Amino acid sequence: MTFNKSVFIPVDPDAAFALITQPERLRRWKTIAARVDLRVGGEYRWTMVPGHSAVGTFTEIEPGKHVVFTWGWEGSQDLAPGASTVSITLEAADGGTTVRLVHEGLTIEQEIAHAEGWNHFLHRLITFATTGDAGADDWAAAPDPINELVSAEAGLAVLQRVLANLTPAHRDVQTPCKDFTSHQLVEHLFESVAGIGRALGVDVVDQPTAAPEVRIADAAQLTLEAFRTRGLDGTIDMCFAELPATVVANILNLEFLVHAWDLAVASGQNVVVSPVLSEYVLGLARNTISPAMRGGSFAEEALVAESAGSLERLVAFTGRQIASV
């Protein structure tokens, strides 16, 4: 079976090609994380929603005109990597570009499922190309089933939207994390994510002049992919200590979600988090932050109203004061 759909977007073919191939653009409408080696024979890995990554190889590339790649799902036996093919053709049209997507090599059941997915993401592509903001993806908000790595991917989606809206004017603004301005907190985030990546055996190269969202997203993609490959069993040598892999994943969750809140408050943004995610990460925090860590890495737990939501309870548990929020 084949899925075949065309949509119009109000940008020229070169801009449209960037939207469907460049990681920074893909993250705005289609993926949480994206690794792209854009050459014939090069591989890609796109985390579409938490816990689900599409992988494949580029087989044809003509910038501004078309791209063809194999398609499958990481770890899937139903539609394994290389089992199907996606081609995207771009044709200049009055006022923009017609984007035609053809997905071949599917069973009837796979075509039905992928039609739902492609319709969802093509709608987000139209919205992004038209307005500049596709909005938070509801499909990434409340993963089910969920574990420490799935929740980290969902938290990364939240963090990236906050980072994308930071401007140079926010650089020296104090965050609720009392030791850090916004710039210093981005530096801390990179070092934390890159440090975990190095412990997992990947070389996370810094891009200090890149925008905060690009810098953190690229580091997080490498680290999360390495974590997925390794799994959650056993321990990880973090240099300062040998920690259970689940605890290291918990740390990533706290870095992503709590610091998303910190940066949102500092920059005047309204961060929206599904209670499914914030409640789960609150449970991880309770299993990670020990009394001995209070007064050092974490302040004492702050008081919140009994009616407080799980995100407020999470940030209060990590020592943030939320009375002014």
Q: What is the pLDDT of residues 16-69, one digit of tens each?
A: 999 999 999 999 999 999 999 999 999 999 999 999 999 999 999 999 999 999
d(CA 238, CA 153): 21
**pLDDT reading at 294 higher than 80:** no
- Give start and end residues of each alpha helix (H) in 145-181: 148-164
CA atoms within 13 A on the CB side of 309: 9
**pLDDT reading at 325 higher than 70:** no
Could you tell me the two tokens for 323? 């009375």
Element (H, E) at 301: none
Cα 248 to chain center, whole Å? 18
Evaluate whether the domain defined by 3-131 bears CATH number 3.30.530.20. yes
236-276 tens-digit pLDDT:
999 989 999 999 999 999 999 999 999 999 999 999 999 99
- What is the torsion angle, in degrees rounded to the nearest 10, for the CA atoms of residue 144, residue 256, residue 26 and residue 125? 60
- What is the torsion angle, in degrees rounded to the nearest 10, for the CA atoms of residue 127, residue 132, residue 138 and residue 139? 80
d(CA 235, CA 13): 48
DSSP line for 248-295: HHHHHHHHHHHHHHHHHHHHT------HHHHHHHHHHHHHH--GGGBT
pLDDT given for residue 323 in this prediction: 55
All CATH 3.30.530.20 domain ranges in the chain, comma separated: 3-131
d(CA 321, CA 141): 25
Report the DSSP pairing between strands 66-73 and 52-62. Answer: antiparallel
CATH number of 141-317: 1.20.120.450
pTM, two decimals, is 0.96
Residue of 128, 123, 114, 125 whose CA lies nearest to 86? 114
All CATH 1.20.120.450 domain ranges in the chain, comma separated: 141-317
